[in-house]
Amino acid sequence: MTRANCVWAGICLSLLMAVGAQPAAAQFQCNRSQDQAVECFVLNAVSTKLTSPRYGMSVSQFETYGVAVSKIMQSNQTYLVLFSTASAIGDALPPTNSGGAANLAAQDLAVQQIVQAAVTNGIVVAPAETTALHLQYFTLDMVNMMNSVGGMLQIMAPGTMLRVVDSYIVTGSVAGQPNWTTINASLSSAVTSLVTAGTLKLPANITFNQVSAYLQSVAQAIYSYKQSTGRLTL
């Protein structure tokens, strides 16, 4: 079973059906709280082989991850940021080298770096009972699902922002070597221009410096991805 087939959203109905097969006493325990209900869903899914723990998790850790996913899904801002991030990465940073050979590790690393940058700079906040690592796993699950949509993401072009950031890397490089002082200054100037023009409207809890620092970290992640895949541009 591929990781895409294990995406939480794709197995929710199956999990609910599996819980319905439990003995009454066990169901009572599962109904005591939302967290226990989710843990029961996950345990039944593993027991009936609908899914299996991944990312090196034990069953107990996988149950905890299931609870974290439920918290993420209930946090509109966090879910929106992670979904948008996954869509952008699925479009602009595919799991292949420039020649077409598979390179899932490069994409996975980009996911981890970009999500961590979002957490570090306060662009996204981990809900209660979740960690930054859970946010990374959740985004990885979504990206893997998007890898198998047959090119539909390219039609919608959700990776435009990443391509714009990449354009600053390209223009700020000399002989293929990025000048990060120039690139970071250009990204900060771009944010200033967009905010001043009213094109980019920052939420009340997000500052200019947070957005600039986040984009600079995203640029680093894009460069690492390009180095790993041999791509000259996105």
Asked if residue 65 and residue 80 are part of one domain, the reply reads: no
What single-letter DSSP state applies at residue 55?
T
Asked if residue 114 and residue 60 are part of one domain, the reply reads: no
Asked if residue 50 and residue 110 are part of one domain, the reply reads: no
Question: Which of 73, 98, 120 is a domain's end point?
Answer: 73
Asked if residue 96 and residue 20 are part of one domain, the reply reads: no
Asked if residue 61 and residue 161 are part of one domain, the reply reads: no
| Three-point CA angle 86, 89, 90, nearest 5° | 80
Collapsing DSSP states into helix, strand and coil, what is residue 180?
A: helix
Secondary structure element (H or E) that encloses residue 174, with its range: strand 173-174
Residue with tokens 């796993």: 137
Asked if residue 156 and residue 54 are part of one domain, the reply reads: no
Q: What range does the domain containing 11 cover?
A: 4-73
Q: What's the pLDDT score for residue 229?
A: 98
Q: Write the Ramachandran bin of 124: left for phi over 0, alpha for psi from -120 to 50, otherwise beta.
A: beta
Asked if residue 135 and residue 89 are part of one domain, the reply reads: yes
Asked if residue 123 and residue 41 are part of one domain, the reply reads: no
Q: Which residues of the chain have pLDDT under 70?
A: 1-28
Asked if residue 144 and residue 44 are part of one domain, the reply reads: no
Residue with tokens 């600039």: 212
Question: Using CA atoms in the order 185, 191, 192, 194, what is the torsion angle rounded to 10 degrees?
Answer: 140
Question: Using CA atoms in the order 200, 83, 98, 116, what is the torsion angle rounded to 10 degrees?
Answer: 80
Q: Which amino acid is at 145?
A: M
Cβ atoms < 10 Å from Cβ of 141:
24
Is residue 2 within 8 Å of residue 144, measured between CB atoms?
yes
Secondary structure element (H or E) that encloses residue 104, with its range: helix 104-120
Asked if residue 191 and residue 81 are part of one domain, the reply reads: yes
pTM of the full structure: 0.85
Rounded Cα distance between 43 and 88, Å, is 32
Q: What's the pLDDT score for residue 185?
A: 97
| Closest C-alpha among 207, 93, 102 to residue 139 | 93
Is residue 202 within 8 Å of residue 208, measured between CB atoms?
yes
Secondary structure element (H or E) that encloses residue 178, with its range: strand 177-178
pLDDT in tens, 189-206: 999 999 999 888 998 889
Asked if residue 36 and residue 65 are part of one domain, the reply reads: yes
Question: Which of 73, 91, 113 is a domain's end point?
Answer: 73
Q: Which two tokens stand for residue 98?
A: 């420039």
Q: Which two tokens stand for residue 96?
A: 């292949």
Asked if residue 114 and residue 25 are part of one domain, the reply reads: no
Question: Which of 17, 45, 73 is a domain's end point?
Answer: 73
Q: What's the pLDDT score for residue 150?
A: 73
Is residue 162 within 8 Å of residue 222, measured between CB atoms?
yes
pLDDT in tens, 155-193: 888 999 999 999 999 999 998 899 999 999 999 999 999
Domain count, the chain: 2
Residue with tokens 């996913």: 69
Angle of helix 104-120 relative to helix 208-229, nearest 10 degrees, comes to 170
